[in-house]
Amino acid sequence: MSDSYDDTYTESQVIMTAVKIIAPFTLTYGLFMTFHGGDAPGGGFQGGTIVGVTVLMIAFAFGIEPTRRWLRNSLLVGLVTGGVVIFGVIGLAMIVLGGDFLEFYQLKEVFHIKPKWGLEAVEIGGIALIVSGVIITLFFAMAAGFTPERPSGTGGHSGRQRPTDREVDDDD
Amino acid sequence: MNLFALTLVVFILATAVATALFRDILSVIVVFGAYSLGMAILYTFLLAPDVAMTEAAIGAGVTTLLLLLTIARTARPSADQLSERIHMPAVVVVGAFVVLLCTTVLPEMYAVGITETPVWQHPEVTQHYIQQTYNDTGVENAVTAVLAAYRGFDTFGEAVVVFAAGISTLLVLKREVFA
């Protein structure tokens, strides 16, 4: 049940300690880059990547399976689909306010706030969420995709029932 | 271009050749990560910090991790020799192609930063974004402004492409959960 990942993970005190020290800084830097993308190099894409890589680093140091249990599936689904929805809703909201798709001037016209905030909302709520979520998803999909869904099964064959969230959690 | 940048170019070329030549896949991945890091530093020399950060995060970071994960999940043949056998006819053909490119294309390229390039034939276009970005959008980073404001609809398409790529990977791997 749990031996499918034991072959690749070795507990290393050095890596675990290093990641424990580095992870807060990379997370902060990723968030800074995301939130400060308008006035400094970087932005939602780069910042979201670094935030996602922080989770990948933790998974490498503390084992992929414990990290997968810690990160719930609904959280990642929320990140990825939520990002697309937020991006689209911001764009459509500008149409509702009387402009064109993603025309941030309408924020100034209607609410008298800077158009900048629309741009930042797209960077933070749209791009950063999608990118960080997809990178974490890719990592866990790769980590699990090459091992059979259940130890006795054949890799690609979908067996007696559909692999639900809970079953995957149990098996790989 | 100063001495450090030239050293960097030599380093990038060396790691690129080493990536092609090493036989052990683990060595290839490590050298490829070094190549991406060299490219990221080179982009900062070319005054493109946004591209440099993307290259460092995606090229050197995520790609290396995903490739490492892939070889951890597949059989890794033990290498009995350090490098691949060099196939001479292929070297001759590729070498001739590279020499051809260097002699025909490189002399035609403009030096970095000169103002005689076709882009500057209509300076009002490039200058518009450099001068008007802050007035138009209120952000200081023109790259972010172009990305999220001037061509926001394109970026929306790109974001959806990233989303679709994630979904497609799950489909190919026959998984129905994200984590």
Are B74 and B1 members of one domain?
yes
What does the radius of gyration of chain A's CA atoms come to, in whole angstroms? 20
Are B167 and B119 members of one domain?
yes
DSSP per residue over B112-133, as a string?
A: TT-S-SGGGGSHHHHHHHHHHH
Domain boundaries, position B13: 1-95
Which tokens sit at B65? Answer: 């991790």
Q: Are A73 and B179 in contact (CB under 8 A)?
A: yes
Domain assignment present for B130: yes
d(CA B149, CA B152): 5
Q: Where are the domains of chain A?
A: 13-143
pTM for the full model? Answer: 0.79
What residues of chain B, 34 to 63, have a C-beta less than 8 Å from chain A?
Answer: 49-50, 52-54, 57-58, 61-62
d(CA A172, CA A9): 13
What residues of chain B, 141 to 160, have a C-beta less than 8 Å from chain A?
Answer: 141, 143-145, 147-149, 152-153, 155-156, 159-160
Alpha-carbon distance B70 to nearest alpha carbon in chain A (angstroms):
7
Are B111 and B165 members of one domain?
yes
Are B3 and B82 members of one domain?
yes
Q: Which pLDDT score, from 0 to 100, does residue B55 have?
A: 92
Are B2 and B90 members of one domain?
yes
Of A80, A106, A111, the C-alpha closest to A93 is A106
Q: What is the ipTM of this complex?
A: 0.80
Residue B57 to residue A116, Cβ atoms within 8 A: no
Q: Between these two residues, B60 and B83, which has the higher pLDDT value?
A: B60
Are B85 and B164 members of one domain?
no
Are B23 and B71 members of one domain?
yes
Domain total of chain B: 2
Are B34 and B70 members of one domain?
yes
pLDDT at B96 over 90: yes
Are B152 and B174 members of one domain?
yes
Asked if A23 reaches chain B (Cβ–Cβ under 8 Å), the answer is no
Q: Are A90 and A121 in contact (CB under 8 A)?
A: yes
Last residue of a domain, which of B95, B130, B150? B95
Alpha-carbon distance A159 to nearest alpha carbon in chain B (angstroms):
12
Q: Which pLDDT score, from 0 to 100, does residue B79 have?
A: 66
What does the radius of gyration of chain B's CA atoms come to, in whole angstroms? 21
Convert the pLDDT of each residue in B105-124 to its tens digit. Answer: 888 888 877 878 877 788 78
Domain assignment present for B87: yes
Q: Between these two residues, B70 and B42, which has the higher pLDDT value?
A: B42
Asked if A22 reaches chain B (Cβ–Cβ under 8 Å), the answer is no
Q: Which pLDDT score, from 0 to 100, does residue A156 have?
A: 42
Last residue of a domain, which of B65, B95, B125? B95
Q: Which pLDDT score, from 0 to 100, does residue B1 have?
A: 63
Domain assignment present for B155: yes
In chain B the first and final C-alpha atoms are separated, in Å, by 46
Query: Highest mean pLDDT range out of A127-131, A147-151, B85-89, B106-110?
Result: A127-131
Q: What confidence tier does A8 reach under pLDDT thresholds 50, 70, 90?
A: low
Convert the pLDDT of each residue in B111-159 to its tens digit. Answer: 877 878 877 788 788 888 888 888 888 888 888 888 888 888 999 999 9
d(CA B130, CA A75): 39
- Closest chain B residue by Cα to residue A55: B62
Residue A141 to residue B163, Cβ atoms within 8 A: no
